[in-house]
Protein backbone atom coordinates (compact mmCIF):
# COMPACT_ATOMS: atom_id res chain seq x y z
CA UNK A 1 0.00 0.00 0.00
CA UNK A 2 1.33 3.43 -0.86
CA UNK A 3 0.51 6.55 1.08
CA UNK A 4 -0.17 10.05 -0.13
CA UNK A 5 2.17 12.82 0.91
CA UNK A 6 1.03 15.47 3.38
CA UNK A 7 0.84 18.08 0.65
CA UNK A 8 -1.24 15.82 -1.59
CA UNK A 9 -3.70 15.19 1.23
CA UNK A 10 -3.80 18.89 2.09
CA UNK A 11 -4.53 19.86 -1.51
CA UNK A 12 -7.47 17.46 -1.61
CA UNK A 13 -8.94 19.04 1.53
CA UNK A 14 -12.57 20.00 1.27
CA UNK A 15 -12.15 23.32 3.05
CA UNK A 16 -15.17 25.22 4.27
CA UNK A 17 -15.35 29.02 4.22
CA UNK A 18 -13.73 30.30 7.39
CA UNK A 19 -17.04 31.98 8.32
CA UNK A 20 -18.56 28.47 8.63
CA UNK A 21 -15.78 27.44 10.98
CA UNK A 22 -16.30 30.57 13.04
CA UNK A 23 -20.03 29.82 13.18
CA UNK A 24 -19.24 26.47 14.84
CA UNK A 25 -17.79 28.50 17.71
CA UNK A 26 -20.56 31.07 17.66
CA UNK A 27 -18.42 33.83 16.15
CA UNK A 28 -20.45 36.14 13.93
CA UNK A 29 -19.10 37.03 10.49
CA UNK A 30 -18.64 40.63 11.56
CA UNK A 31 -16.18 39.52 14.26
CA UNK A 32 -13.98 37.59 11.85
CA UNK A 33 -11.35 39.53 9.94
CA UNK A 34 -10.81 37.33 6.90
CA UNK A 35 -7.42 36.75 5.26
CA UNK A 36 -8.50 35.11 2.02
CA UNK A 37 -11.36 32.65 2.28
CA UNK A 38 -9.77 30.12 4.63
CA UNK A 39 -8.06 32.17 7.33
CA UNK A 40 -9.37 34.82 9.72
CA UNK A 41 -8.41 36.78 12.78
CA UNK A 42 -10.88 37.01 15.65
CA UNK A 43 -11.58 40.64 16.46
CA UNK A 44 -10.40 42.16 19.72
CA UNK A 45 -13.82 43.65 20.65
CA UNK A 46 -15.42 40.20 20.31
CA UNK A 47 -12.74 38.70 22.55
CA UNK A 48 -13.23 41.48 25.10
CA UNK A 49 -16.92 40.55 25.23
CA UNK A 50 -16.22 36.94 26.27
CA UNK A 51 -14.83 37.71 29.73
CA UNK A 52 -17.83 36.51 31.74
CA UNK A 53 -18.25 33.17 30.00
CA UNK A 54 -17.25 29.87 31.60
CA UNK A 55 -14.10 28.13 30.44
CA UNK A 56 -14.09 24.80 28.65
CA UNK A 57 -11.73 21.98 29.57
CA UNK A 58 -8.05 22.41 28.75
CA UNK A 59 -6.06 19.44 27.47
CA UNK A 60 -2.30 19.60 27.01
CA UNK A 61 -0.57 17.34 24.49
CA UNK A 62 3.09 16.80 25.29
CA UNK A 63 5.59 14.07 24.45
CA UNK A 64 8.62 12.02 25.33
CA UNK A 65 12.01 13.46 24.44
CA UNK A 66 12.09 13.86 20.68
CA UNK A 67 14.16 11.42 18.65
CA UNK A 68 15.02 11.41 14.95
CA UNK A 69 12.22 8.85 14.60
CA UNK A 70 9.63 11.57 15.19
CA UNK A 71 6.89 11.47 17.80
CA UNK A 72 4.03 13.31 16.02
CA UNK A 73 2.93 15.69 18.76
CA UNK A 74 1.17 18.22 16.53
CA UNK A 75 -0.36 15.41 14.48
CA UNK A 76 -1.76 13.92 17.68
CA UNK A 77 -3.06 17.31 18.83
CA UNK A 78 -4.94 17.66 15.55
CA UNK A 79 -6.14 14.03 15.65
CA UNK A 80 -7.40 14.37 19.21
CA UNK A 81 -9.25 17.58 18.41
CA UNK A 82 -10.93 15.91 15.44
CA UNK A 83 -11.63 12.83 17.59
CA UNK A 84 -13.39 14.89 20.24
CA UNK A 85 -15.55 16.50 17.58
CA UNK A 86 -16.25 13.04 16.14
CA UNK A 87 -17.63 11.78 19.44
CA UNK A 88 -19.96 14.76 19.59
CA UNK A 89 -17.99 17.21 21.69
CA UNK A 90 -17.42 20.87 20.85
CA UNK A 91 -13.63 20.99 20.60
CA UNK A 92 -11.00 23.32 19.21
CA UNK A 93 -7.25 22.97 18.95
CA UNK A 94 -4.61 25.60 19.71
CA UNK A 95 -1.20 25.25 18.09
CA UNK A 96 1.78 27.42 17.26
CA UNK A 97 2.48 29.19 13.98
CA UNK A 98 5.36 27.98 11.85
CA UNK A 99 8.50 30.00 11.28
CA UNK A 100 9.13 30.93 7.66
CA UNK A 101 12.93 30.81 7.64
CA UNK A 102 13.44 27.13 8.51
CA UNK A 103 11.06 26.06 5.69
CA UNK A 104 13.83 27.06 3.26
CA UNK A 105 16.40 25.00 5.13
CA UNK A 106 15.21 21.51 5.79
CA UNK A 107 12.45 21.67 8.33
CA UNK A 108 9.02 20.64 7.13
CA UNK A 109 5.78 22.27 8.09
CA UNK A 110 4.28 22.44 11.55
CA UNK A 111 0.67 21.74 10.62
CA UNK A 112 0.39 18.06 11.47
CA UNK A 113 0.57 15.24 8.96
CA UNK A 114 -1.34 12.54 7.11
CA UNK A 115 -5.07 12.82 7.77
CA UNK A 116 -4.51 14.90 10.89
CA UNK A 117 -3.54 18.25 9.45
CA UNK A 118 -4.48 21.89 9.67
CA UNK A 119 -5.05 23.74 6.41
CA UNK A 120 -4.17 25.84 4.43
CA UNK A 121 -0.74 24.34 5.05
CA UNK A 122 1.17 26.30 2.39
CA UNK A 123 0.07 29.68 3.72
CA UNK A 124 0.68 28.55 7.30
CA UNK A 125 4.27 27.78 6.38
CA UNK A 126 4.80 31.00 4.45
CA UNK A 127 3.48 34.44 5.41
CA UNK A 128 0.17 33.23 6.95
CA UNK A 129 -1.53 36.34 8.38
CA UNK A 130 1.71 38.26 8.78
CA UNK A 131 2.10 37.91 12.55
CA UNK A 132 5.79 37.02 12.44
CA UNK A 133 6.51 39.85 10.04
CA UNK A 134 4.85 42.23 12.50
CA UNK A 135 7.03 40.86 15.29
CA UNK A 136 10.13 41.31 13.14
CA UNK A 137 9.14 44.92 12.45
CA UNK A 138 8.40 45.73 16.08
CA UNK A 139 11.66 44.15 17.25
CA UNK A 140 13.79 45.93 14.66
CA UNK A 141 12.08 49.28 15.23
CA UNK A 142 13.32 49.10 18.80
CA UNK A 143 16.81 48.18 17.55
CA UNK A 144 16.86 51.13 15.17
CA UNK A 145 15.66 53.49 17.89
CA UNK A 146 18.46 52.38 20.23
CA UNK A 147 21.22 53.15 17.71
CA UNK A 148 19.37 56.31 16.74
CA UNK A 149 19.29 57.45 20.36
CA UNK A 150 23.05 57.01 20.62
CA UNK A 151 23.57 58.76 17.28
CA UNK A 152 21.74 61.87 18.41
CA UNK A 153 23.69 62.31 21.64
CA UNK A 154 22.94 59.36 23.91
CA UNK A 155 21.07 61.25 26.63
CA UNK A 156 20.29 57.96 28.36
CA UNK A 157 24.02 57.18 28.62
CA UNK A 158 23.71 53.75 27.02
CA UNK A 159 26.96 51.80 27.28
CA UNK A 160 27.42 50.68 23.68
CA UNK A 161 29.21 47.56 24.90
CA UNK A 162 26.22 46.60 26.99
CA UNK A 163 23.44 46.72 24.43
CA UNK A 164 21.63 43.39 24.86
CA UNK A 165 18.89 43.97 22.26
CA UNK A 166 19.92 42.40 18.96
CA UNK A 167 18.06 42.46 15.63
CA UNK A 168 15.92 39.69 14.14
CA UNK A 169 15.07 38.22 10.76
CA UNK A 170 12.75 35.31 9.92
CA UNK A 171 15.41 33.60 7.85
CA UNK A 172 18.11 30.98 8.40
CA UNK A 173 21.12 33.19 7.86
CA UNK A 174 24.25 32.22 9.77
CA UNK A 175 26.21 35.15 8.34
CA UNK A 176 24.08 37.49 10.48
CA UNK A 177 24.79 35.78 13.80
CA UNK A 178 27.63 38.13 14.63
CA UNK A 179 28.02 41.40 12.77
CA UNK A 180 29.52 44.84 13.19
CA UNK A 181 27.03 47.62 12.49
CA UNK A 182 27.47 51.37 12.13
CA UNK A 183 30.45 51.25 9.78
CA UNK A 184 31.02 53.77 7.01
CA UNK A 185 31.67 56.98 8.86
CA UNK A 186 30.05 59.63 11.00
CA UNK A 187 26.68 59.67 9.29
CA UNK A 188 26.14 55.96 9.91
CA UNK A 189 26.62 56.10 13.67
CA UNK A 190 29.05 54.43 16.03
CA UNK A 191 30.50 51.05 14.99
CA UNK A 192 29.68 48.32 17.47
CA UNK A 193 29.22 44.59 17.58
CA UNK A 194 25.70 43.22 17.20
CA UNK A 195 23.89 40.33 15.64
CA UNK A 196 20.64 38.84 14.43
CA UNK A 197 18.46 36.08 15.88
CA UNK A 198 15.66 34.34 14.05
CA UNK A 199 12.33 36.05 14.71
CA UNK A 200 10.87 33.25 16.83
CA UNK A 201 13.73 33.83 19.29
CA UNK A 202 12.69 37.46 19.83
CA UNK A 203 11.50 38.45 23.29
CA UNK A 204 8.72 40.27 21.43
CA UNK A 205 7.44 36.86 20.34
CA UNK A 206 7.41 35.59 23.93
CA UNK A 207 5.68 38.78 25.05
CA UNK A 208 2.99 38.54 22.36
CA UNK A 209 2.34 34.97 23.46
CA UNK A 210 2.05 35.82 27.17
CA UNK A 211 0.18 39.14 27.02
CA UNK A 212 -3.47 38.96 28.01
CA UNK A 213 -4.53 42.09 26.10
CA UNK A 214 -3.12 45.11 24.28
CA UNK A 215 -2.57 47.10 27.49
CA UNK A 216 -0.61 44.21 28.99
CA UNK A 217 1.28 43.89 25.70
CA UNK A 218 2.41 47.51 25.80
CA UNK A 219 3.39 47.28 29.45
CA UNK A 220 5.50 44.20 28.79
CA UNK A 221 7.12 45.75 25.71
CA UNK A 222 8.02 48.77 27.83
CA UNK A 223 9.57 46.45 30.42
CA UNK A 224 12.08 45.01 27.96
CA UNK A 225 15.67 45.69 29.04
CA UNK A 226 17.57 46.82 25.96
CA UNK A 227 20.91 47.88 27.40
CA UNK A 228 22.79 48.89 30.53
CA UNK A 229 24.71 51.97 31.56
CA UNK A 230 28.32 51.87 32.71
CA UNK A 231 26.96 51.66 36.26
CA UNK A 232 25.01 48.54 35.19
CA UNK A 233 21.63 50.20 35.65
CA UNK A 234 19.14 48.95 33.06
CA UNK A 235 17.63 50.91 30.18
CA UNK A 236 14.15 49.87 29.15
CA UNK A 237 12.30 49.99 25.85
CA UNK A 238 10.06 52.48 27.64
CA UNK A 239 13.04 54.81 28.10
CA UNK A 240 13.64 54.65 24.34
CA UNK A 241 9.92 55.50 23.86
CA UNK A 242 9.46 52.57 21.51
CA UNK A 243 6.70 50.73 23.37
CA UNK A 244 3.78 52.67 21.88
CA UNK A 245 4.86 52.27 18.27
CA UNK A 246 5.74 48.60 18.85
CA UNK A 247 2.24 48.02 20.20
CA UNK A 248 0.76 49.68 17.13
CA UNK A 249 2.83 47.40 14.90
CA UNK A 250 1.57 44.36 16.86
CA UNK A 251 -2.07 45.41 17.09
CA UNK A 252 -3.32 43.02 14.41
CA UNK A 253 -0.84 40.29 15.29
CA UNK A 254 -2.33 40.12 18.79
CA UNK A 255 -5.63 38.84 17.37
CA UNK A 256 -5.71 35.01 17.22
CA UNK A 257 -5.86 33.28 13.86
CA UNK A 258 -8.63 30.82 13.07
CA UNK A 259 -8.20 28.07 10.47
CA UNK A 260 -9.52 24.51 10.19
CA UNK A 261 -8.46 20.89 10.31
CA UNK A 262 -8.94 18.59 7.32
CA UNK A 263 -12.19 17.56 9.04
CA UNK A 264 -13.37 21.21 9.18
CA UNK A 265 -12.97 21.61 12.92
CA UNK A 266 -11.72 24.91 14.36
CA UNK A 267 -8.01 25.40 14.86
CA UNK A 268 -6.41 28.42 16.56
CA UNK A 269 -2.90 28.90 15.20
CA UNK A 270 -1.22 31.78 16.96
CA UNK A 271 2.27 32.65 18.11
CA UNK A 272 5.37 30.50 18.09
CA UNK A 273 8.09 31.26 20.63
CA UNK A 274 11.24 29.16 20.82
CA UNK A 275 10.96 26.33 23.32
CA UNK A 276 14.45 26.82 24.76
CA UNK A 277 15.15 30.52 25.41
CA UNK A 278 11.37 31.06 25.55
CA UNK A 279 8.40 29.05 26.72
CA UNK A 280 7.40 27.29 23.49
CA UNK A 281 3.61 27.58 23.69
CA UNK A 282 0.99 29.18 21.46
CA UNK A 283 -0.42 32.49 22.66
CA UNK A 284 -2.30 32.95 25.92
CA UNK A 285 -4.90 35.03 24.08
CA UNK A 286 -5.63 32.20 21.62
CA UNK A 287 -5.89 29.61 24.39
CA UNK A 288 -8.08 31.73 26.67
CA UNK A 289 -10.30 32.73 23.73
CA UNK A 290 -10.69 29.11 22.66
CA UNK A 291 -11.59 28.14 26.23
CA UNK A 292 -14.49 30.61 26.12
CA UNK A 293 -15.76 29.26 22.79
CA UNK A 294 -15.30 25.47 22.93
CA UNK A 295 -16.06 22.84 25.58
CA UNK A 296 -12.68 21.16 25.03
CA UNK A 297 -9.48 22.87 23.98
CA UNK A 298 -6.53 20.74 22.92
CA UNK A 299 -3.17 22.48 22.91
CA UNK A 300 0.48 21.47 22.80
CA UNK A 301 3.85 22.61 24.09
CA UNK A 302 7.25 22.51 22.39
CA UNK A 303 9.77 19.67 22.61
CA UNK A 304 9.32 16.91 25.23
CA UNK A 305 7.46 17.19 28.52
CA UNK A 306 10.68 17.98 30.45
CA UNK A 307 10.88 21.33 28.63
CA UNK A 308 7.48 21.92 27.03
CA UNK A 309 5.05 20.69 29.66
CA UNK A 310 7.18 22.08 32.49
CA UNK A 311 7.11 25.55 30.94
CA UNK A 312 3.45 25.24 30.01
CA UNK A 313 2.67 24.59 33.68
CA UNK A 314 5.17 26.87 35.38
CA UNK A 315 5.14 29.80 32.97
CA UNK A 316 2.04 29.88 30.76
CA UNK A 317 -0.55 28.47 33.18
CA UNK A 318 0.86 30.43 36.12
CA UNK A 319 0.82 33.72 34.21
CA UNK A 320 -2.50 33.20 32.43
CA UNK A 321 -4.32 31.78 35.42
CA UNK A 322 -5.33 28.62 33.57
CA UNK A 323 -4.81 24.95 34.37
CA UNK A 324 -4.89 21.74 32.34
CA UNK A 325 -7.71 19.30 33.09
CA UNK A 326 -5.86 16.41 31.45
CA UNK A 327 -2.52 15.77 29.79
CA UNK A 328 -1.75 13.48 26.85
CA UNK A 329 1.82 12.25 26.49
CA UNK A 330 2.63 11.17 22.95
CA UNK A 331 4.99 8.26 22.45
CA UNK A 332 5.85 6.06 19.51
CA UNK A 333 7.15 2.53 19.34
CA UNK A 334 9.98 3.75 17.16
CA UNK A 335 11.04 6.41 19.64
CA UNK A 336 10.91 3.88 22.48
CA UNK A 337 13.22 1.66 20.43
CA UNK A 338 15.66 4.52 19.88
CA UNK A 339 15.59 5.26 23.60
CA UNK A 340 16.34 1.57 24.01
CA UNK A 341 19.51 1.91 21.96
CA UNK A 342 18.40 1.07 18.40
CA UNK A 343 19.87 3.16 15.55
CA UNK A 344 17.50 4.94 13.17
CA UNK A 345 18.46 2.67 10.28
CA UNK A 346 17.40 -0.42 12.26
CA UNK A 347 13.98 0.83 13.34
CA UNK A 348 12.20 -1.31 10.72
CA UNK A 349 12.83 -4.61 12.49
CA UNK A 350 10.69 -5.77 15.43
CA UNK A 351 12.57 -5.39 18.71
CA UNK A 352 10.37 -5.74 21.78
CA UNK A 353 13.32 -5.80 24.11
CA UNK A 354 14.53 -2.42 22.91
CA UNK A 355 11.02 -1.02 23.31
CA UNK A 356 11.00 -2.20 26.92
CA UNK A 357 14.49 -0.81 27.50
CA UNK A 358 13.39 2.61 26.18
CA UNK A 359 10.11 2.86 28.08
CA UNK A 360 11.58 4.41 31.25
CA UNK A 361 11.96 7.67 29.33
CA UNK A 362 8.19 7.67 28.94
CA UNK A 363 7.76 6.57 32.54
CA UNK A 364 9.68 9.51 33.89
CA UNK A 365 7.59 11.95 31.83
CA UNK A 366 4.40 10.33 33.16
CA UNK A 367 5.56 10.69 36.74
CA UNK A 368 6.72 14.27 36.15
CA UNK A 369 3.42 15.39 34.66
CA UNK A 370 1.47 13.66 37.43
CA UNK A 371 3.54 15.61 39.94
CA UNK A 372 1.73 18.76 38.76
CA UNK A 373 -1.50 17.19 39.98
CA UNK A 374 -3.02 16.49 36.57
CA UNK A 375 -4.36 13.20 35.14
CA UNK A 376 -2.33 11.65 32.35
CA UNK A 377 -3.02 9.36 29.42
CA UNK A 378 -0.45 8.10 26.91
CA UNK A 379 -1.18 8.23 23.17
CA UNK A 380 0.79 5.74 21.09
CA UNK A 381 1.03 7.42 17.70
CA UNK A 382 0.85 4.45 15.36
CA UNK A 383 3.37 3.87 12.58
CA UNK A 384 2.50 1.25 9.96
CA UNK A 385 5.70 -0.67 10.75
CA UNK A 386 4.82 -1.09 14.45
CA UNK A 387 4.17 -4.72 15.47
CA UNK A 388 1.44 -5.93 17.84
CA UNK A 389 4.02 -7.16 20.31
CA UNK A 390 5.85 -3.84 20.37
CA UNK A 391 2.64 -1.91 20.90
CA UNK A 392 1.62 -4.29 23.68
CA UNK A 393 4.99 -3.78 25.35
CA UNK A 394 4.38 -0.04 25.58
CA UNK A 395 0.85 -0.57 26.87
CA UNK A 396 2.04 -3.01 29.52
CA UNK A 397 4.76 -0.64 30.64
CA UNK A 398 2.35 2.28 30.98
CA UNK A 399 -0.09 0.06 32.90
CA UNK A 400 2.73 -0.75 35.30
CA UNK A 401 3.12 3.00 35.91
CA UNK A 402 -0.52 3.31 36.90
CA UNK A 403 -1.57 4.97 33.66
CA UNK A 404 -3.16 3.94 30.40
CA UNK A 405 -1.76 3.92 26.86
CA UNK A 406 -4.12 4.10 23.88
CA UNK A 407 -3.19 3.34 20.29
CA UNK A 408 -4.03 6.16 17.86
CA UNK A 409 -4.20 5.94 14.07
CA UNK A 410 -5.10 9.51 13.16
CA UNK A 411 -2.25 9.85 10.65
CA UNK A 412 -3.81 7.09 8.55
CA UNK A 413 -7.48 7.41 9.42
CA UNK A 414 -8.12 10.90 10.79
CA UNK A 415 -10.57 11.11 13.66
CA UNK A 416 -11.64 7.49 13.11
CA UNK A 417 -8.23 6.63 14.56
CA UNK A 418 -8.62 8.64 17.78
CA UNK A 419 -12.11 7.79 19.01
CA UNK A 420 -10.83 5.76 21.94
CA UNK A 421 -8.29 8.42 22.96
CA UNK A 422 -10.87 11.20 22.65
CA UNK A 423 -13.38 9.31 24.77
CA UNK A 424 -10.82 8.66 27.50
CA UNK A 425 -9.48 12.21 27.45
CA UNK A 426 -12.97 13.67 27.73
CA UNK A 427 -13.67 11.39 30.70
CA UNK A 428 -10.46 12.46 32.43
CA UNK A 429 -11.03 16.13 31.73
CA UNK A 430 -14.60 15.93 32.99
CA UNK A 431 -13.64 13.89 36.06
CA UNK A 432 -12.54 16.86 38.11
CA UNK A 433 -9.45 14.87 39.11
CA UNK A 434 -7.08 17.65 38.16
CA UNK A 435 -5.64 19.52 41.11
CA UNK A 436 -3.09 21.55 39.27
CA UNK A 437 -0.31 23.31 41.10
CA UNK A 438 2.91 24.70 39.67
CA UNK A 439 6.16 23.08 40.72
CA UNK A 440 7.46 25.98 42.78
CA UNK A 441 6.02 29.08 44.41
CA UNK A 442 6.70 32.60 43.10
CA UNK A 443 8.63 33.55 46.20
CA UNK A 444 11.22 30.76 46.04
CA UNK A 445 14.72 32.17 45.36
CA UNK A 446 15.66 31.97 41.67
CA UNK A 447 18.48 29.48 42.07
CA UNK A 448 16.28 27.21 44.15
CA UNK A 449 13.72 27.27 41.36
CA UNK A 450 16.39 26.06 38.96
CA UNK A 451 17.39 23.34 41.38
CA UNK A 452 13.77 22.30 41.82
CA UNK A 453 13.30 21.84 38.08
CA UNK A 454 16.62 20.06 37.69
CA UNK A 455 16.04 17.63 40.54
CA UNK A 456 12.31 17.00 40.24
CA UNK A 457 11.93 17.02 36.43
CA UNK A 458 15.38 16.13 35.12
CA UNK A 459 16.27 13.88 38.10
CA UNK A 460 19.66 15.52 38.35
CA UNK A 461 21.68 15.47 41.53
CA UNK A 462 22.92 19.01 41.34
CA UNK A 463 23.01 22.30 39.46
CA UNK A 464 26.49 23.66 38.74
CA UNK A 465 26.85 27.42 38.46
CA UNK A 466 29.72 29.87 38.88
CA UNK A 467 29.56 32.42 41.62
CA UNK A 468 29.14 35.04 38.92
CA UNK A 469 25.90 33.42 37.79
CA UNK A 470 24.62 33.05 41.35
CA UNK A 471 25.50 36.69 41.99
CA UNK A 472 23.60 37.73 38.89
CA UNK A 473 20.50 35.86 40.01
CA UNK A 474 20.82 37.45 43.41
CA UNK A 475 21.16 40.90 41.86
CA UNK A 476 17.96 40.36 39.90
CA UNK A 477 16.21 39.32 43.09
CA UNK A 478 17.37 42.58 44.67
CA UNK A 479 16.09 44.47 41.62
CA UNK A 480 12.61 43.02 42.06
CA UNK A 481 12.72 40.15 39.59
CA UNK A 482 12.90 37.35 42.16
CA UNK A 483 9.24 36.41 41.69
CA UNK A 484 9.74 35.46 38.03
CA UNK A 485 9.55 31.86 36.86
CA UNK A 486 12.50 30.09 35.27
CA UNK A 487 12.75 29.35 31.54
CA UNK A 488 15.22 26.51 31.08
CA UNK A 489 17.20 26.38 27.83
CA UNK A 490 18.76 22.96 27.46
CA UNK A 491 18.86 20.21 24.84
CA UNK A 492 15.45 18.72 24.04
CA UNK A 493 16.92 15.29 23.30
CA UNK A 494 17.59 14.18 26.86
CA UNK A 495 16.44 14.76 30.41
CA UNK A 496 20.06 15.69 31.01
CA UNK A 497 22.14 18.35 29.32
CA UNK A 498 23.86 15.71 27.18
CA UNK A 499 21.82 15.20 23.98
CA UNK A 500 23.18 11.68 23.54
CA UNK A 501 21.96 10.48 26.93
CA UNK A 502 18.61 8.89 26.07
CA UNK A 503 16.31 6.95 28.37
CA UNK A 504 15.83 8.10 31.96
CA UNK A 505 19.20 9.13 33.31
CA UNK A 506 19.56 10.03 36.98
CA UNK A 507 22.34 11.40 39.13
CA UNK A 508 23.62 13.78 36.47
CA UNK A 509 24.69 17.40 36.88
CA UNK A 510 23.11 20.42 35.20
CA UNK A 511 25.79 23.02 34.42
CA UNK A 512 24.46 26.56 33.92
CA UNK A 513 26.43 28.47 31.31
CA UNK A 514 24.57 31.75 31.31
CA UNK A 515 21.47 33.46 32.66
CA UNK A 516 19.42 36.11 30.90
CA UNK A 517 16.60 38.31 32.10
CA UNK A 518 13.59 38.56 29.81
CA UNK A 519 11.98 41.30 31.86
CA UNK A 520 9.23 41.99 29.34
CA UNK A 521 8.22 38.38 28.83
CA UNK A 522 8.61 37.90 32.56
CA UNK A 523 11.00 35.02 33.05
CA UNK A 524 14.64 34.32 33.77
CA UNK A 525 16.29 32.24 31.05
CA UNK A 526 18.78 29.69 32.36
CA UNK A 527 21.01 28.42 29.59
CA UNK A 528 22.62 24.99 29.93
CA UNK A 529 24.75 24.19 26.90
CA UNK A 530 24.85 25.67 23.41
CA UNK A 531 21.60 27.26 22.28
CA UNK A 532 21.37 28.32 18.64
CA UNK A 533 19.18 31.38 18.09
CA UNK A 534 19.98 31.83 14.39
CA UNK A 535 19.98 28.63 12.32
CA UNK A 536 21.96 28.19 9.12
CA UNK A 537 20.97 26.62 5.83
CA UNK A 538 22.15 23.11 4.91
CA UNK A 539 24.41 22.29 1.96
CA UNK A 540 21.38 21.80 -0.26
CA UNK A 541 18.64 24.03 1.16
CA UNK A 542 15.08 22.94 0.46
CA UNK A 543 14.65 26.39 -1.09
CA UNK A 544 16.43 25.08 -4.19
CA UNK A 545 13.49 22.76 -4.90
CA UNK A 546 10.66 25.08 -3.88
CA UNK A 547 8.77 26.50 -6.86
CA UNK A 548 5.39 27.03 -8.44
CA UNK A 549 4.26 24.28 -10.79
CA UNK A 550 2.35 24.98 -13.99
CA UNK A 551 -0.93 24.79 -12.10
CA UNK A 552 0.29 27.57 -9.81
CA UNK A 553 0.66 25.17 -6.88
CA UNK A 554 3.63 25.27 -4.54
CA UNK A 555 6.05 22.36 -4.94
CA UNK A 556 8.88 21.32 -2.63
CA UNK A 557 7.81 23.14 0.49
CA UNK A 558 7.46 19.96 2.54
Site for a second copy in 272-331 (CB under 8 A): none
- Asked if 99 is part of the footprint of a second copy (rule: CB under 8 A), the reply reads no
1, 51, 152, 478: residue in contact with a second copy (rule CB under 8 A) = 152
> Would you tell me how many other CB atoms lie within 10 Å of the CB of residue 268?
27
Q: What's the per-residue H, E or C state across 76-96?
A: HHHHHHHHHHHCCCCEEEEEC
- Asked if 344 is part of the footprint of a second copy (rule: CB under 8 A), the reply reads no
Has 405 been labeled as part of a binding site? no
CA dist., res. 290 & res. 266, Å (int)? 9
Give alpha helix (H) positions in 433-504: 446-456, 467-476
Least spacing, CB of residue 401 vs a second copy, in Å: 41
In the complex with a second copy, which residue's Cβ is closer, 249 or 407? Answer: 249
Has 319 been labeled as part of a binding site? no
CA dist., res. 444 & res. 377, Å (int)? 31
CA dist., res. 250 & res. 137, Å (int)? 9
Which residues partner with 94 through β-bridges? 268, 299
Check residue 127 and report its DSSP letter.
T
In the complex with a second copy, which residue's Cβ is closer, 88 or 552? Answer: 552
Q: Give the angle subtended at the CA of 204 by the CAs of 201 and 210, to the nearest 5°.
A: 100
In the complex with a second copy, which residue's Cβ is closer, 37 or 53? Answer: 37
Least spacing, CB of residue 143 vs a second copy, in Å: 7
Of 74-82, 148-156, 433-441, 497-505, which part binds a second copy (CB under 8 A)? 148-156
4, 5, 144, 349: residue in contact with a second copy (rule CB under 8 A) = 144
134, 275, 333, 488: residue in contact with a second copy (rule CB under 8 A) = 134
Nearest to 522 by CA among 127, 261, 221: 221
CA dist., res. 347 & res. 386, Å (int)? 9
> Would you tell me how many other CB atoms lie within 10 Å of the CB of residue 490?
27
In degrees and rounded to multiples of 5, residue 47 shows phi and psi of -60, -45
- Asked if 248 is part of the footprint of a second copy (rule: CB under 8 A), the reply reads yes
- Asked if 545 is part of the footprint of a second copy (rule: CB under 8 A), the reply reads yes
In the complex with a second copy, which residue's Cβ is closer, 33 or 200? Answer: 33
Site for a second copy in 168-197 (CB under 8 A): 169-184, 187-189, 193-195
Least spacing, CB of residue 150 vs a second copy, in Å: 9
- Asked if 36 is part of the footprint of a second copy (rule: CB under 8 A), the reply reads yes
Least spacing, CB of residue 2 vs a second copy, in Å: 27
Catalytic residue flag (residue 53) = no
Nearest to 270 by CA among 284, 249, 291, 251: 284
| Distances in whole angstroms, Cα of residue 49 to Cα of each of 20, 78, 356 | 21, 28, 51
Least spacing, CB of residue 316 vs a second copy, in Å: 25
15, 23, 34, 423: residue in contact with a second copy (rule CB under 8 A) = 34
Catalytic positions, please? 73, 75, 96, 107, 275, 303, 383, 411
Amino acid sequence: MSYKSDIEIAREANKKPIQDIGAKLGIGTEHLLPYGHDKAKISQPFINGLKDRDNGKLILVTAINPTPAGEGKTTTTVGLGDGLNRIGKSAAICIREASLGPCFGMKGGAAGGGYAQVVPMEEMNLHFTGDFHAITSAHNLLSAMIDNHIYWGNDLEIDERRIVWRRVMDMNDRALREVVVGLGGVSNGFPRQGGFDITVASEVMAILCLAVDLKDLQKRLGDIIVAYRRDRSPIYARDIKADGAMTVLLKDAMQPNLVQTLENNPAFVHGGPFANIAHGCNSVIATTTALKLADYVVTEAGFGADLGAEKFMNIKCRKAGIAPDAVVIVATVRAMKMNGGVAKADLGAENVEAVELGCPNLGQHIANVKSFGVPVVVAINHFVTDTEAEIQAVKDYVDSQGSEAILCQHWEKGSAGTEELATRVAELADSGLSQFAPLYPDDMPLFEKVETIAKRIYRADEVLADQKIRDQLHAWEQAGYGHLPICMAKTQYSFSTDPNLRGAPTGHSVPVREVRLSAGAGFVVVICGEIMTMPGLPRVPSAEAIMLNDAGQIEGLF
